[in-house]
Structure 1
Amino acid sequence: MSERYIVLFPFQLLILSVDHMKKAFVYQGLLPLAGMSVRDVPSDTSCMFEMMGPMIESRIISCPSPAEFHIWVLSIQQHIKMANAHCPAHPSNIIPFLVPCDEQWKKRKLMKHLFYTTILKWEGKPIQHLGRIHYLAMVQVAYASMGDFKERLLVLFPEDLVFLSVDRERTSIAYEGKLPLAGIQAKEKSAVLGRLEFEITGMPGIDDRGSLTEPILVTCSTAEDYEKCLFYLQKVLPEQNLDTVTVQPPPIVPKKSLQR
Protein backbone atom coordinates (compact mmCIF):
# COMPACT_ATOMS: atom_id res chain seq x y z
CA MET A 1 0.00 0.00 0.00
CA SER A 2 1.12 3.55 -0.75
CA GLU A 3 -0.54 6.85 0.07
CA ARG A 4 -2.60 8.35 -2.75
CA TYR A 5 -5.18 11.07 -3.26
CA ILE A 6 -8.12 10.25 -5.52
CA VAL A 7 -10.23 12.89 -7.28
CA LEU A 8 -13.59 11.89 -8.70
CA PHE A 9 -14.68 13.48 -11.99
CA PRO A 10 -17.89 12.71 -13.92
CA PHE A 11 -16.27 10.09 -16.18
CA GLN A 12 -12.77 9.52 -14.72
CA LEU A 13 -10.99 8.91 -11.43
CA LEU A 14 -7.74 10.88 -11.07
CA ILE A 15 -4.99 9.40 -8.87
CA LEU A 16 -2.29 11.62 -7.34
CA SER A 17 0.60 11.20 -4.94
CA VAL A 18 2.35 13.90 -2.93
CA ASP A 19 5.99 14.93 -3.22
CA HIS A 20 6.56 16.18 0.33
CA MET A 21 9.95 17.66 -0.52
CA LYS A 22 8.55 19.82 -3.32
CA LYS A 23 5.14 20.17 -1.66
CA ALA A 24 3.41 19.27 -4.92
CA PHE A 25 1.02 16.69 -6.31
CA VAL A 26 2.36 14.07 -8.74
CA TYR A 27 0.17 12.51 -11.44
CA GLN A 28 -0.24 8.72 -10.99
CA GLY A 29 -3.00 7.78 -13.40
CA LEU A 30 -6.45 8.49 -14.82
CA LEU A 31 -9.02 5.68 -14.76
CA PRO A 32 -12.02 5.79 -17.13
CA LEU A 33 -15.17 4.89 -15.18
CA ALA A 34 -17.17 3.51 -18.12
CA GLY A 35 -17.16 -0.30 -17.95
CA MET A 36 -15.64 -0.36 -14.45
CA SER A 37 -16.96 -2.21 -11.41
CA VAL A 38 -16.47 -1.87 -7.63
CA ARG A 39 -16.56 -4.58 -4.96
CA ASP A 40 -15.91 -4.71 -1.23
CA VAL A 41 -12.68 -6.38 -0.10
CA PRO A 42 -13.03 -8.36 3.15
CA SER A 43 -10.70 -7.00 5.83
CA ASP A 44 -10.51 -6.45 9.58
CA THR A 45 -11.56 -2.83 9.20
CA SER A 46 -13.95 -3.33 6.24
CA CYS A 47 -12.70 -0.10 4.72
CA MET A 48 -11.24 -1.54 1.50
CA PHE A 49 -12.73 -1.80 -1.98
CA GLU A 50 -11.43 -2.96 -5.35
CA MET A 51 -11.83 -1.20 -8.69
CA MET A 52 -11.76 -3.42 -11.79
CA GLY A 53 -12.08 -2.74 -15.49
CA PRO A 54 -11.40 -4.33 -18.88
CA MET A 55 -8.53 -1.94 -19.70
CA ILE A 56 -6.86 -1.34 -16.32
CA GLU A 57 -5.05 -3.28 -13.67
CA SER A 58 -7.16 -4.01 -10.60
CA ARG A 59 -6.61 -1.53 -7.76
CA ILE A 60 -7.43 -1.95 -4.06
CA ILE A 61 -8.21 1.25 -2.18
CA SER A 62 -8.14 1.45 1.60
CA CYS A 63 -10.04 4.33 3.21
CA PRO A 64 -9.08 5.81 6.59
CA SER A 65 -12.56 5.36 8.07
CA PRO A 66 -15.82 3.44 7.49
CA ALA A 67 -17.61 6.74 6.80
CA GLU A 68 -15.24 7.68 3.97
CA PHE A 69 -15.40 4.11 2.65
CA HIS A 70 -19.18 4.27 2.24
CA ILE A 71 -19.05 7.75 0.70
CA TRP A 72 -16.45 6.70 -1.88
CA VAL A 73 -18.09 3.40 -2.82
CA LEU A 74 -21.53 4.99 -3.29
CA SER A 75 -20.11 7.99 -5.19
CA ILE A 76 -17.98 5.89 -7.53
CA GLN A 77 -20.87 3.48 -8.23
CA GLN A 78 -23.13 6.41 -9.12
CA HIS A 79 -20.51 7.92 -11.42
CA ILE A 80 -19.92 4.54 -13.10
CA LYS A 81 -23.65 4.38 -13.93
CA MET A 82 -23.49 7.91 -15.33
CA ALA A 83 -20.39 7.10 -17.39
CA ASN A 84 -21.95 3.92 -18.78
CA ALA A 85 -25.11 5.81 -19.71
CA HIS A 86 -23.12 8.59 -21.42
CA CYS A 87 -20.49 6.33 -23.01
CA PRO A 88 -21.80 2.73 -23.02
CA ALA A 89 -19.25 -0.01 -22.39
CA HIS A 90 -20.96 -2.11 -25.10
CA PRO A 91 -20.80 0.01 -28.26
CA SER A 92 -23.15 -2.04 -30.43
CA ASN A 93 -25.59 0.88 -30.68
CA ILE A 94 -23.11 3.42 -32.02
CA ILE A 95 -20.37 1.65 -34.03
CA PRO A 96 -22.62 0.77 -37.02
CA PHE A 97 -23.36 4.49 -37.43
CA LEU A 98 -19.69 5.50 -37.28
CA VAL A 99 -18.01 2.73 -39.30
CA PRO A 100 -16.98 3.18 -42.02
CA CYS A 101 -15.88 6.63 -40.81
CA ASP A 102 -16.24 8.26 -44.23
CA GLU A 103 -17.39 11.67 -42.97
CA GLN A 104 -15.71 14.18 -40.67
CA TRP A 105 -18.43 14.10 -38.02
CA LYS A 106 -18.07 10.31 -37.84
CA LYS A 107 -14.32 10.59 -37.35
CA ARG A 108 -14.73 13.12 -34.53
CA LYS A 109 -17.37 11.03 -32.78
CA LEU A 110 -15.34 7.82 -33.11
CA MET A 111 -12.20 9.55 -31.77
CA LYS A 112 -14.08 10.48 -28.59
CA HIS A 113 -15.74 7.08 -28.39
CA LEU A 114 -12.40 5.25 -28.34
CA PHE A 115 -11.42 6.89 -25.04
CA TYR A 116 -14.48 5.52 -23.22
CA THR A 117 -15.40 2.24 -24.89
CA THR A 118 -14.00 -1.22 -24.15
CA ILE A 119 -11.28 -2.19 -26.63
CA LEU A 120 -10.88 -5.97 -26.70
CA LYS A 121 -7.39 -7.53 -26.34
CA TRP A 122 -5.90 -4.18 -25.36
CA GLU A 123 -2.32 -4.39 -24.04
CA GLY A 124 -0.28 -1.92 -22.01
CA LYS A 125 -1.50 1.25 -20.36
CA PRO A 126 -4.99 2.65 -21.11
CA ILE A 127 -5.53 4.43 -24.40
CA GLN A 128 -6.06 7.69 -22.48
CA HIS A 129 -2.30 7.75 -21.76
CA LEU A 130 -1.30 7.89 -25.43
CA GLY A 131 -2.15 11.58 -25.75
CA ARG A 132 -4.44 13.26 -28.27
CA ILE A 133 -5.58 11.67 -31.50
CA HIS A 134 -4.16 13.50 -34.54
CA TYR A 135 -6.05 11.54 -37.17
CA LEU A 136 -8.18 8.42 -37.69
CA ALA A 137 -9.01 6.48 -40.86
CA MET A 138 -10.37 3.12 -41.97
CA VAL A 139 -7.73 1.48 -44.18
CA GLN A 140 -6.66 -1.84 -45.67
CA VAL A 141 -3.45 -3.25 -44.15
CA ALA A 142 -1.16 -6.11 -45.20
CA TYR A 143 2.39 -7.28 -44.66
CA ALA A 144 4.37 -6.69 -47.86
CA SER A 145 5.51 -10.33 -48.04
CA MET A 146 1.97 -11.71 -47.70
CA GLY A 147 -0.30 -9.28 -49.55
CA ASP A 148 -3.38 -10.41 -47.61
CA PHE A 149 -5.14 -7.12 -46.93
CA LYS A 150 -7.38 -6.75 -43.88
CA GLU A 151 -9.58 -3.87 -42.79
CA ARG A 152 -8.08 -1.89 -39.94
CA LEU A 153 -8.80 1.33 -38.09
CA LEU A 154 -5.60 3.42 -38.20
CA VAL A 155 -5.27 5.81 -35.24
CA LEU A 156 -2.43 8.35 -35.10
CA PHE A 157 -1.29 9.57 -31.66
CA PRO A 158 1.60 12.01 -30.98
CA GLU A 159 4.12 9.20 -30.50
CA ASP A 160 2.32 6.03 -31.57
CA LEU A 161 0.48 4.47 -34.49
CA VAL A 162 -2.29 2.14 -33.27
CA PHE A 163 -4.14 -0.43 -35.38
CA LEU A 164 -7.64 -1.55 -34.34
CA SER A 165 -10.14 -3.91 -35.95
CA VAL A 166 -13.93 -3.90 -36.02
CA ASP A 167 -15.87 -7.18 -36.14
CA ARG A 168 -18.21 -7.99 -39.03
CA GLU A 169 -21.33 -7.23 -37.00
CA ARG A 170 -19.89 -3.78 -36.07
CA THR A 171 -20.46 -4.50 -32.38
CA SER A 172 -16.93 -4.39 -30.93
CA ILE A 173 -13.45 -2.93 -31.46
CA ALA A 174 -10.27 -4.96 -30.88
CA TYR A 175 -6.60 -4.03 -30.50
CA GLU A 176 -4.32 -5.27 -33.31
CA GLY A 177 -0.96 -3.62 -32.54
CA LYS A 178 1.00 -0.46 -31.87
CA LEU A 179 4.11 1.07 -33.46
CA PRO A 180 6.25 3.95 -32.16
CA LEU A 181 6.38 6.78 -34.70
CA ALA A 182 10.05 7.35 -33.87
CA GLY A 183 10.88 3.88 -35.17
CA ILE A 184 9.02 3.90 -38.51
CA GLN A 185 8.87 5.84 -41.77
CA ALA A 186 6.22 6.09 -44.50
CA LYS A 187 6.94 5.95 -48.24
CA GLU A 188 4.52 6.82 -51.02
CA LYS A 189 3.67 4.05 -53.48
CA SER A 190 0.53 5.39 -55.15
CA ALA A 191 2.47 6.79 -58.12
CA VAL A 192 3.75 3.31 -58.92
CA LEU A 193 0.62 1.30 -58.25
CA GLY A 194 -1.94 3.86 -59.40
CA ARG A 195 -3.83 3.70 -56.09
CA LEU A 196 -3.81 5.36 -52.66
CA GLU A 197 -1.20 3.15 -51.05
CA PHE A 198 1.88 3.79 -48.90
CA GLU A 199 4.43 1.58 -47.20
CA ILE A 200 5.49 1.65 -43.55
CA THR A 201 9.01 0.43 -42.81
CA GLY A 202 11.34 0.48 -39.82
CA MET A 203 13.83 3.31 -39.50
CA PRO A 204 17.43 2.39 -40.45
CA GLY A 205 19.56 1.67 -37.42
CA ILE A 206 16.59 1.20 -35.11
CA ASP A 207 16.75 -2.06 -33.17
CA ASP A 208 14.48 -2.32 -30.14
CA ARG A 209 11.36 -4.10 -28.98
CA GLY A 210 9.11 -1.54 -30.63
CA SER A 211 10.81 -1.60 -34.03
CA LEU A 212 9.16 -2.81 -37.22
CA THR A 213 10.97 -5.75 -38.85
CA GLU A 214 8.67 -6.29 -41.87
CA PRO A 215 7.21 -3.61 -44.20
CA ILE A 216 3.48 -2.95 -43.97
CA LEU A 217 1.33 -1.83 -46.90
CA VAL A 218 -1.54 0.56 -46.16
CA THR A 219 -4.27 1.36 -48.70
CA CYS A 220 -6.59 4.32 -48.09
CA SER A 221 -10.11 4.69 -49.47
CA THR A 222 -9.97 8.47 -50.00
CA ALA A 223 -7.35 10.97 -51.12
CA GLU A 224 -7.89 12.97 -47.91
CA ASP A 225 -7.09 9.97 -45.70
CA TYR A 226 -4.04 9.19 -47.81
CA GLU A 227 -2.64 12.71 -47.67
CA LYS A 228 -3.29 13.27 -43.96
CA CYS A 229 -1.89 9.90 -42.90
CA LEU A 230 1.30 10.63 -44.82
CA PHE A 231 1.48 14.14 -43.37
CA TYR A 232 1.50 12.85 -39.81
CA LEU A 233 3.65 9.80 -40.43
CA GLN A 234 6.25 11.93 -42.19
CA LYS A 235 6.18 14.45 -39.32
CA VAL A 236 4.58 17.19 -41.46
CA LEU A 237 1.73 18.75 -39.50
CA PRO A 238 -1.05 20.70 -41.25
CA GLU A 239 -1.54 24.32 -40.21
CA GLN A 240 -5.00 23.57 -38.90
CA ASN A 241 -6.15 20.35 -37.26
CA LEU A 242 -9.87 20.31 -36.59
CA ASP A 243 -9.93 16.60 -35.83
CA THR A 244 -7.74 16.68 -32.72
CA VAL A 245 -9.13 15.23 -29.49
CA THR A 246 -7.13 16.16 -26.39
CA VAL A 247 -6.59 14.18 -23.19
CA GLN A 248 -4.40 15.08 -20.25
CA PRO A 249 -2.10 12.10 -19.41
CA PRO A 250 1.33 12.05 -21.10
CA PRO A 251 2.19 9.29 -23.61
CA ILE A 252 3.97 6.16 -22.42
CA VAL A 253 6.50 3.73 -23.91
CA PRO A 254 4.54 1.12 -25.92
CA LYS A 255 4.75 -2.51 -24.84
CA LYS A 256 3.95 -4.23 -28.13
CA SER A 257 4.68 -3.84 -31.81
CA LEU A 258 2.24 -4.74 -34.58
CA GLN A 259 1.76 -8.50 -34.88
CA ARG A 260 0.21 -10.67 -37.49
Structure 2
Amino acid sequence: MRSCHMEEMSEQYIVLFPFQLLILSMDHMKKMFIYQGLLPLAGMSVRDVPSDTGCMFEVTGPMIESRIISCLSPAEFHIWVLSIQRHIKMANAHCPAHPSNIIPFLVPCDEQWKKQKLMKHLVYTTILKWEGKPIQHLGRIHYLAMVQVAYASMGDFEERLLVLFPEDLVFLSVDRERTGIVYKGKLPLAGIQAKEKSAVLGRLEFEITGSLMEPILVACSTAEDYEKCLFYLQKPEQNLDTVTVQPPPMVPKKSLHR
Protein backbone atom coordinates (compact mmCIF):
# COMPACT_ATOMS: atom_id res chain seq x y z
CA MET A 1 0.00 0.00 0.00
CA ARG A 2 1.02 3.60 -0.48
CA SER A 3 -0.68 6.95 0.07
CA CYS A 4 -0.89 9.74 -2.48
CA HIS A 5 2.25 11.51 -1.17
CA MET A 6 4.43 8.37 -1.06
CA GLU A 7 6.37 6.87 -3.95
CA GLU A 8 7.18 3.45 -2.52
CA MET A 9 4.85 0.69 -1.44
CA SER A 10 4.96 -0.59 2.14
CA GLU A 11 3.61 -3.85 3.54
CA GLN A 12 0.27 -3.32 5.27
CA TYR A 13 -2.62 -5.46 6.46
CA ILE A 14 -6.20 -4.36 5.82
CA VAL A 15 -9.20 -5.56 7.81
CA LEU A 16 -12.69 -4.95 6.46
CA PHE A 17 -15.38 -4.05 9.00
CA PRO A 18 -19.02 -3.19 8.17
CA PHE A 19 -18.41 0.57 8.14
CA GLN A 20 -14.61 1.01 8.28
CA LEU A 21 -11.41 -0.26 6.71
CA LEU A 22 -8.71 -0.85 9.33
CA ILE A 23 -5.05 -0.51 8.30
CA LEU A 24 -2.28 -2.25 10.25
CA SER A 25 1.43 -2.81 9.84
CA MET A 26 3.49 -5.61 11.35
CA ASP A 27 6.45 -5.26 13.70
CA HIS A 28 8.20 -8.50 12.80
CA MET A 29 10.73 -8.18 15.64
CA LYS A 30 8.06 -7.85 18.34
CA LYS A 31 5.55 -9.99 16.42
CA MET A 32 2.75 -7.51 16.90
CA PHE A 33 0.43 -5.39 14.77
CA ILE A 34 0.71 -1.59 14.75
CA TYR A 35 -2.34 0.59 14.13
CA GLN A 36 -1.98 2.75 10.99
CA GLY A 37 -5.44 4.17 10.42
CA LEU A 38 -9.18 3.61 10.24
CA LEU A 39 -10.91 4.72 7.03
CA PRO A 40 -14.68 5.35 6.95
CA LEU A 41 -16.38 3.45 4.12
CA ALA A 42 -19.29 5.91 3.79
CA GLY A 43 -18.53 8.17 0.84
CA MET A 44 -15.53 6.08 -0.24
CA SER A 45 -14.98 5.10 -3.87
CA VAL A 46 -12.90 2.31 -5.42
CA ARG A 47 -11.29 2.20 -8.85
CA ASP A 48 -8.90 -0.13 -10.67
CA VAL A 49 -5.36 1.14 -11.18
CA PRO A 50 -3.62 0.00 -14.39
CA SER A 51 -0.54 -2.10 -13.60
CA ASP A 52 1.55 -4.94 -14.99
CA THR A 53 0.03 -7.39 -12.52
CA GLY A 54 -3.54 -6.11 -12.79
CA CYS A 55 -3.85 -6.44 -9.02
CA MET A 56 -3.94 -2.79 -7.91
CA PHE A 57 -6.85 -0.58 -6.89
CA GLU A 58 -7.29 2.84 -5.31
CA VAL A 59 -9.55 3.87 -2.46
CA THR A 60 -10.39 7.53 -1.98
CA GLY A 61 -13.00 9.65 -0.27
CA PRO A 62 -13.88 13.15 0.93
CA MET A 63 -12.24 12.68 4.33
CA ILE A 64 -9.30 10.40 3.50
CA GLU A 65 -6.08 10.53 1.56
CA SER A 66 -6.05 8.43 -1.58
CA ARG A 67 -4.38 5.04 -1.11
CA ILE A 68 -3.13 2.58 -3.71
CA ILE A 69 -3.44 -1.07 -2.67
CA SER A 70 -1.59 -3.87 -4.46
CA CYS A 71 -2.89 -7.38 -3.84
CA LEU A 72 -0.78 -10.54 -3.95
CA SER A 73 -2.88 -12.24 -6.63
CA PRO A 74 -5.71 -11.54 -9.10
CA ALA A 75 -8.02 -13.69 -6.96
CA GLU A 76 -7.37 -11.54 -3.87
CA PHE A 77 -7.77 -8.41 -5.97
CA HIS A 78 -11.27 -9.39 -7.14
CA ILE A 79 -12.34 -10.49 -3.65
CA TRP A 80 -11.21 -7.21 -2.08
CA VAL A 81 -12.67 -4.89 -4.72
CA LEU A 82 -16.05 -6.63 -4.68
CA SER A 83 -16.13 -6.84 -0.88
CA ILE A 84 -15.22 -3.20 -0.35
CA GLN A 85 -17.74 -2.04 -2.96
CA ARG A 86 -20.48 -4.07 -1.27
CA HIS A 87 -19.63 -2.68 2.17
CA ILE A 88 -19.49 0.88 0.81
CA LYS A 89 -23.10 0.50 -0.34
CA MET A 90 -24.07 -0.77 3.10
CA ALA A 91 -22.22 2.07 4.83
CA ASN A 92 -23.82 4.69 2.59
CA ALA A 93 -27.26 3.23 3.32
CA HIS A 94 -26.70 3.38 7.08
CA CYS A 95 -24.83 6.71 7.00
CA PRO A 96 -26.68 8.78 4.38
CA ALA A 97 -25.24 12.01 5.71
CA HIS A 98 -22.01 12.95 3.96
CA PRO A 99 -19.09 12.46 6.40
CA SER A 100 -17.86 15.98 5.79
CA ASN A 101 -21.23 17.60 6.58
CA ILE A 102 -20.58 17.60 10.31
CA ILE A 103 -17.61 19.99 10.19
CA PRO A 104 -19.49 23.11 9.00
CA PHE A 105 -21.87 22.67 11.94
CA LEU A 106 -19.05 22.37 14.47
CA VAL A 107 -16.58 24.97 13.15
CA PRO A 108 -16.17 27.56 14.49
CA CYS A 109 -16.54 25.66 17.77
CA ASP A 110 -17.94 28.63 19.68
CA GLU A 111 -20.27 26.64 21.95
CA GLN A 112 -19.49 23.93 24.47
CA TRP A 113 -21.58 21.24 22.76
CA LYS A 114 -19.66 21.89 19.53
CA LYS A 115 -16.34 21.44 21.31
CA GLN A 116 -17.46 18.14 22.83
CA LYS A 117 -18.76 16.83 19.52
CA LEU A 118 -15.62 17.91 17.66
CA MET A 119 -13.38 16.22 20.26
CA LYS A 120 -15.14 12.91 19.61
CA HIS A 121 -15.10 13.50 15.86
CA LEU A 122 -11.32 14.01 15.78
CA VAL A 123 -10.68 10.61 17.34
CA TYR A 124 -12.67 8.72 14.70
CA THR A 125 -12.20 10.77 11.55
CA THR A 126 -9.24 10.79 9.15
CA ILE A 127 -6.90 13.74 9.68
CA LEU A 128 -5.00 14.50 6.49
CA LYS A 129 -1.18 14.48 6.58
CA TRP A 130 -1.14 13.10 10.12
CA GLU A 131 2.35 12.16 11.36
CA GLY A 132 3.65 10.09 14.25
CA LYS A 133 1.69 8.23 16.91
CA PRO A 134 -2.03 7.77 16.04
CA ILE A 135 -4.26 10.39 17.64
CA GLN A 136 -6.11 7.64 19.53
CA HIS A 137 -2.87 6.91 21.42
CA LEU A 138 -2.25 10.48 22.59
CA GLY A 139 -4.70 10.13 25.45
CA ARG A 140 -7.89 11.96 26.41
CA ILE A 141 -8.35 15.44 24.94
CA HIS A 142 -8.25 17.98 27.78
CA TYR A 143 -9.35 21.01 25.79
CA LEU A 144 -9.96 22.23 22.25
CA ALA A 145 -10.14 25.78 20.92
CA MET A 146 -10.25 27.61 17.61
CA VAL A 147 -7.46 30.20 17.72
CA GLN A 148 -5.33 32.43 15.52
CA VAL A 149 -1.58 31.79 15.47
CA ALA A 150 1.33 33.86 14.19
CA TYR A 151 5.02 33.07 14.03
CA ALA A 152 7.78 35.44 15.07
CA SER A 153 9.08 35.60 11.50
CA MET A 154 5.61 36.04 9.96
CA GLY A 155 3.21 38.76 11.04
CA ASP A 156 0.01 37.29 9.61
CA PHE A 157 -2.30 35.25 11.82
CA GLU A 158 -3.66 31.91 10.60
CA GLU A 159 -6.67 29.99 11.92
CA ARG A 160 -5.84 26.82 13.81
CA LEU A 161 -7.56 24.20 15.96
CA LEU A 162 -5.52 23.93 19.14
CA VAL A 163 -5.97 20.51 20.77
CA LEU A 164 -4.53 19.81 24.23
CA PHE A 165 -3.63 16.23 25.16
CA PRO A 166 -2.02 15.06 28.44
CA GLU A 167 1.50 15.31 27.00
CA ASP A 168 1.15 17.05 23.65
CA LEU A 169 -0.21 20.19 22.03
CA VAL A 170 -1.53 19.47 18.52
CA PHE A 171 -2.21 22.06 15.82
CA LEU A 172 -4.81 21.36 13.13
CA SER A 173 -6.36 23.43 10.37
CA VAL A 174 -9.71 23.25 8.60
CA ASP A 175 -9.83 23.80 4.85
CA ARG A 176 -11.74 26.68 3.28
CA GLU A 177 -14.70 24.48 2.33
CA ARG A 178 -14.95 23.15 5.92
CA THR A 179 -14.80 19.58 4.60
CA GLY A 180 -11.46 18.33 5.89
CA ILE A 181 -9.07 18.62 8.81
CA VAL A 182 -5.31 18.81 8.22
CA TYR A 183 -2.47 18.11 10.64
CA LYS A 184 -0.14 21.09 11.15
CA GLY A 185 2.22 20.03 13.92
CA LYS A 186 2.72 18.83 17.48
CA LEU A 187 4.66 20.14 20.50
CA PRO A 188 5.52 18.22 23.70
CA LEU A 189 4.03 20.05 26.70
CA ALA A 190 7.11 19.33 28.79
CA GLY A 191 9.27 21.28 26.34
CA ILE A 192 7.27 24.49 25.97
CA GLN A 193 6.20 27.47 28.06
CA ALA A 194 3.13 29.68 27.74
CA LYS A 195 3.46 33.34 28.69
CA GLU A 196 0.64 35.85 28.95
CA LYS A 197 0.92 38.66 26.44
CA SER A 198 -2.33 40.55 26.90
CA ALA A 199 -5.59 39.93 28.72
CA VAL A 200 -7.27 43.12 27.55
CA LEU A 201 -10.70 42.58 26.04
CA GLY A 202 -10.27 41.91 22.36
CA ARG A 203 -6.59 40.99 22.74
CA LEU A 204 -6.56 37.63 24.49
CA GLU A 205 -3.06 36.59 23.46
CA PHE A 206 -0.32 34.40 24.88
CA GLU A 207 3.05 33.27 23.55
CA ILE A 208 4.39 29.73 23.27
CA THR A 209 8.16 29.37 23.50
CA GLY A 210 10.54 26.44 23.73
CA SER A 211 13.88 25.08 22.62
CA LEU A 212 14.45 24.39 18.93
CA MET A 213 11.41 26.45 17.90
CA GLU A 214 10.57 30.06 17.24
CA PRO A 215 7.94 31.74 19.43
CA ILE A 216 4.31 31.28 18.42
CA LEU A 217 1.76 33.96 19.28
CA VAL A 218 -1.72 32.60 19.97
CA ALA A 219 -4.84 34.80 19.96
CA CYS A 220 -8.03 33.43 21.53
CA SER A 221 -11.53 34.63 20.67
CA THR A 222 -13.03 34.10 24.14
CA ALA A 223 -11.88 34.60 27.71
CA GLU A 224 -12.73 30.95 28.48
CA ASP A 225 -10.44 29.65 25.73
CA TYR A 226 -7.68 32.01 26.91
CA GLU A 227 -7.92 30.93 30.55
CA LYS A 228 -8.27 27.20 29.83
CA CYS A 229 -5.36 27.12 27.36
CA LEU A 230 -3.08 28.94 29.79
CA PHE A 231 -4.20 26.68 32.63
CA TYR A 232 -3.24 23.50 30.80
CA LEU A 233 -0.11 24.90 29.12
CA GLN A 234 1.38 26.39 32.27
CA LYS A 235 0.97 23.22 34.37
CA PRO A 236 4.06 21.43 32.95
CA GLU A 237 6.43 24.13 34.26
CA GLN A 238 7.86 21.71 36.82
CA ASN A 239 9.14 19.59 33.93
CA LEU A 240 11.10 22.35 32.22
CA ASP A 241 14.37 21.17 33.79
CA THR A 242 14.15 18.05 31.66
CA VAL A 243 13.59 19.86 28.39
CA THR A 244 17.12 19.15 27.19
CA VAL A 245 16.41 15.42 27.02
CA GLN A 246 13.14 15.82 25.13
CA PRO A 247 13.12 14.90 21.43
CA PRO A 248 12.97 17.83 18.99
CA PRO A 249 9.40 19.15 18.71
CA MET A 250 7.40 18.64 15.55
CA VAL A 251 6.97 22.38 15.08
CA PRO A 252 3.60 23.48 13.65
CA LYS A 253 3.96 24.14 9.96
CA LYS A 254 3.77 27.57 8.42
CA SER A 255 1.66 28.11 5.36
CA LEU A 256 0.35 30.94 3.28
CA HIS A 257 -3.04 29.26 2.91
CA ARG A 258 -5.20 27.55 5.47
Q: TM-score, normalised by structure 2?
A: 0.62
How far does the alpha carbon of each residue in 1:91-115 deviate from its partner, in whole angstroms, 9 at most, with x for none?
6643332223122221122223345
The answer to whether the 8 A contact 1:48-1:69 is kept is yes
Report which stretch shifted further, 70-79 or 246-255. Answer: 246-255
1:248 maps to 246
RMSD: 6.9
Q: What is the CA distance between 1:200 and its match in structure 2?
A: 0.7
SS in 2 for 1:133: coil
Q: Distance in 2 between matches of 1:116 and 1:243?
A: 35
Kept in 2, the 8 Å contact 1:178–1:256? The answer is: no
Q: Is contact 2:196–2:206 with CA below 8 Å preserved after alignment?
A: yes
Query: Residues 16, 132 of structure 1: CA spacing in aligned structure 2 closer, same or farther, 3 A cutoff?
Result: same
| CA distance 1:21–1:259, shift in 2 (3 Å) | same
- CA shift in 2, pair 1:20/1:253, >3 Å: farther
Deviation per CA, 1:152-175, whole angstroms, max 9, x where unpaired? Answer: 322224454333344666555555
- Structure 2: which 5+ runs fail to align? 1-8
Q: Among the aligned pairs, what percent are the same residue?
A: 92
| Cα distance in 2, alignment partners of residues 192 and 222 from structure 1 | 11
| Unaligned ranges ≥5, structure 1 | 202-209
After superposing the two structures, state which structure 1 stretch, 101-110 or 26-35, moved more. 26-35
Check the 8 A contact 1:16/1:25 in 2, yes or no. Answer: yes
Report the more deviating stretch, 30-39 or 219-228: 30-39
- In structure 2, the CA distance between the partners of 1:18 and 1:96, relative to structure 1 (3 Å rule), is closer
Report the Cα distance in structure 1 between the residues aligned to 2:145 and 2:84, rounded to whole angstroms.
Answer: 35
Shift in CA distance, 37/99, structure 1 to aligned 2, threshold 3 Å: same
Deviations 1:8-58 (A, max 9, x none): 234433334556776654545544546654322445664443345678776
- Match of 1:223? 223
Separation in 2, partners of 1:52, 1:156: 30
Distance 1:247 1:131 in 2: 22
Where 2:93 maps in the other structure, the secondary structure is: helix
Secondary structure of the 1:79 match is: helix
Deviations 1:199-252 (A, max 9, x none): 111xxxxxxxx96633222232333322322233234xx999999999999999
- Answer whether contact 2:213 2:251 (CA < 8 A) is retained: no
TM-score normalised by length of structure 1? 0.62
